[in-house]
Amino acid sequence: MEVAQQETLALAAEKEAVEVSGSVALLEALIIEGVETIFGYPGGAIMPIYDALYDYNEKLQHILVRHEQGGIHAGQGYARTSGKVGVVFATSGPGATNLVTGLADAQIDSTPLVCITGQVFAHLLGTDAFQETDVINITTPVTKWNYQVTDANELPEVIAKAFYIAKSGRPGPVLIDITKNAQIQKFQFKGYTPCDHIRSYRPKPIVRPQYIQQAAELINQAKKPFVIWGQGVILGSAEQEFKTFIEKSGIPAAWTILGAGAIPTEHPLNVGMLGMHGNYGPNVLTNDCDVLIAIGMRFDDRVTGRLDKYAKQAKVIHLDIDPAEIDKNVKSTVPVWGDCKETLPLLTQLVEQKQHTEWVHKFNDYTRQEVEQVINAELNPTSGEMTMGEVIKQLNDITKGEAVIVTDVGQHQMVACRYAKFNNTRSNVTSGGLGTMGFALPAAIGAKFGAKDRTVVAIIGDGGFQMTIQELGTIMQSKVDVKIIILNNRFLGMVRQWQELFNEKRYSFVDIQSPDFVAVAAAYGIAGKAISDREDLPGALQEMINNKGSFLLEVFVTKENNVFPMVPQGCSVSEIRLK
């Protein structure tokens, strides 16, 4: 950075007005917000910001992705592992519209992002200028907030609001669209002050003590209480408060896929995964408990199955920071509004120390049935082609449950979420609500930048990998260390499973052909190996983990293996099938 510019910004830090461009003011704001890494792709409408970024390469690390969708998924992965706001740059028109899938994914999975898009000059807005799109109206349904800046004087306040909104309350994505004239425009910059309050915006609802009291009374009277928790525990940094609550109350607890890792997989009160491909006991016993305590989860349809048959016998206590989620899908008996980091300690104070030994044993009994009928065959096959489950089991043996696991969408996702071991929070990164194929490879890149000292393993299907395969170029250029496992069953596996079970094996366009993935990786300078024999698996996994730098391991698994248990669509969770 030039000496004159350094002096200018030093004065700005002292609140003396100095003349800078909108682009410089933006970058100064990012630094004060603690941003270290930006994922982006330049273009004409955002070129002034990139020109200013040239002088900031020692303070702001920019990762050049190969597609804007890759950039926003990388931002999501970074946010999920670091707990910070992910930052993404894109240009106007197609650059901005390429962010939409990632915005929708981040919105439904409550991931904090600030996306900066360039826009045509203000006087060209509405003229169908080159690479102009109405990005504000396009992205309104898939952002927590968006705003278009046409005057540089607005930038400091707008950026401050963007970060505050993205990370406060229930987090989410924010998009700021900046016209080119506002990026170039010089204005009197008086420094940057982060935002901590916005009139009419209340990120956390007021905690109502009477509801805490009512919830505690129900829990203390319960004979068969059951906790189901989601990502809200992790987003609220309430892992310890949650652990203290279940250990004092002695209540068995099950998780949604985004909640995985809030307590260790092997915790004695962790009874498994909920939902369509969740564990047998948690699904069946949802319809047997007398008090259902939902913490930081939204009763997604993949968790509830048929709502008219979901937990009708139970009194429902719902703890959530977003009042819109309470009573949206499942009617609560006691709504507990608020941040669970605040509400859980209040509830823990009032609940009695208990051990629901017989009730916990009932979950264990269902687990034994599942082990005998499903899990043993999946994790410990003795013949035939390899299964996805045995790959995850052996990966657990090597990583000891300490790795960050990033999954794409499909059968491999369900298998990985079911069988991966998570000893730490912020270890499971996946596309939950939107189910975005192509998510894992770029998200794993971002996850590694967000968790530099941890092993990051991306587990991807042969279909999803080809949706964002170009991000191998990002790995090559940034030299990020990501381990990639492709579980190749030569099918679009989850769709094929449904076609087998519900469409009489009419396999319509799910037989997918793929290139030599190891050769493709080699073209990007990434080491790799492909295996199909069971005896080669332990050594190949160890080679991947030990390799200095990224590594791609392609594992050919059985073609027509199905993921069970399964709650068929339109059925009750208690109608879950083991085969």
Angle between helices 340-350 and 209-221 (to 10 degrees): 50
Amino acid at 30: L
**Sole residue written with tokens 């996946």:** 430
Q: By three-state DSSP, how is residue 294 classified?
A: strand
Helices (H) and strands (E) in the chain, counts: 25, 20
494 labelled catalytic: yes
- Asked if residues 152 and 188 have their Cβ atoms less than 8 Å apart, the reply is no
**C-alpha R_g of the chain:** 25
- Which tokens hold the place of 211? 């509801």
CB 356 within 8 A of CB 252: yes
How far CA 148 is from CA of 19, 116, 477, in Å, comes to 22, 10, 32
CA distance 395 to 75: 26
Q: Residue 244 phi/psi, 5° resolution?
A: -60, -40
Instruction: Pull the structure tokens for residue 513.
Output: 């052909």
Set 6, 16, 19, 130: catalytic member: 130
In 10 A of CB 66, how many CB atoms? Answer: 19
Rounded distance between C-alpha atoms, residue 260 and residue 428, angstroms: 6
- How many Cβ atoms from other residues are within 10 Å of residue 342's Cβ? 14
Containing 225, the helix (H) or strand (E) segment is strand 225-229
CB neighbour class for 579 (10 Å; exposed up to 12, middle 13-18, buried from 19): exposed
Catalytic-role residue among 131, 214, 373, 477: 131
**What is the sign of the dihedral through the CA atoms of 461, 463, 468 and 471?**
positive
Among candidate residues 145, 206, 198, 152, the one with its CA nearest the CA of residue 176: 145
Neighbouring-strand partners of residue 529? 553
Residue 266 to residues 116, 246, 254, 401, 508: CA-CA distances in angstroms? 41, 14, 12, 10, 40
Question: Which residues lie closer than 8 Å to 111 by C-beta, 6 or more apart?
Answer: 76, 79, 80, 86, 105, 171, 172, 173
Q: Which of these is catalytic: 386, 388, 467, 494? A: 494
> Out of 144, 161, 167, 180, which one is annotated catalytic?
180
**Is 68 among the catalytic positions?**
yes
Q: Is 131 one of the annotated active-site residues of the chain?
A: yes
Catalytic annotation, pick one of 28, 33, 39, 68: 68
**One-letter amino acid identity for 117?**
T
Amino acid letter for position 19: E
Q: Whole-angstrom Cα distance, residue 422 to residue 29?
A: 36
The closest alpha carbon to 516, from 554, 481, 483, belongs to: 554
Determine the distance from the C-alpha atom of residue 52 to the mean position of all C-alpha atoms in its chain, rounded to a whole number.
31
Say how many residues make up the chain. Answer: 579
Question: 54, exposed or middle or buried, with CB in 10 Å at 0-12, 13-18, 19+?
Answer: exposed
**Could you tell me the CA-to-CA distances from 187 to 52, 161, 420 in Å, in that order?**
15, 19, 53
* Active centre residues (catalytic): 68, 130-131, 180, 494
